[in-house]
Structure 1
Amino acid sequence: TYIWIDGTGLNLQCKTRTLATAPVNIADYPIWNYGEDSYLKAVADYSDPFLGGQNKLVLCETLDRNMKPTATNHRANAALVM
């Protein structure tokens, strides 16, 4: 399940996706679109305590159509500083 902070910066959103093979590292998760011109990039994953099994909760940052961080993507700037 991909999870991200929406464009208002106040709410969490999620989408569930089934992959053919289990990702080995975070780069193995595909970038996924939401809306017309926004994208989700996986930055961390955790075992899903609700669904169990091989299911994962995948925390994402949001990117615009040019693959640049969206206005509410504060993680990108924080990652540069740290």
Structure 2
Amino acid sequence: IDGFGGLRSKTKVITGVSLPASIESIKARLPVWNFDGSSTGQAPGEDSEVILKPQAVFRDPFRGGSNVLVMADCYTPGGEAIPTNTRAGAAALFAQKPEEESASGPRRPSHRAPRRSST
């Protein structure tokens, strides 16, 4: 989430890397990356570097092949989560009670109620 509440994306091409059988194992091989956060409202102009740290990897359903989508969290160069990095705060909170199951996140199953007939 950028400094204005919008979604952001960035593309990086890494050549010569084949996807392993387990998509989770690629996360450890992904580099930390950075960008200028002043243009996205995530950092002041005089100290605008924002660090991207990979958190989750998914096969890219749009491009297919060996392409992946990576969700990353944003940090200052000093390692502090930037204000719009709400996942970092959530992860710290969840780590306090590892025996509890989170009620949010991409792995939570959802169910739809059956549609009611209009007749």
Q: TM-score, normalised by structure 2?
A: 0.59
- Distance in 1, matches of 2:31 and 2:3, equals 21
Give deviations 1:8-42, integer Å, cap 9, x for gaps.
3x111111111232463322211111104101111
Structure 1 unaligned blocks of 5 or more: none
The residue aligned with 2:58 is: 46
CA RMSD of aligned residues (A): 1.5
- Distance in 2, matches of 1:70 and 1:19, equals 26
The equivalences for 1:3-82 within 5 A come to: 5-8=1-4, 10-20=5-15, 21-22=17-18, 24-35=25-36, 36-82=48-94
Identity %: 35
Structure 2 unaligned blocks of 5 or more: 20-24, 37-47, 95-119
**Normalized per residue, which structure has more strand?**
1
Instruction: State the structure with more CA Rg.
Output: 2
**Normalized per residue, which structure has more helix?**
2
Count of residue pairs brought into register by the alignment: 77
Q: TM-score, normalised by structure 1?
A: 0.82
Q: Secondary structure of the residue that 2:52 maps to in structure 1? A: strand
- Higher RCO (CA < 8 A, seq sep 6+): 1
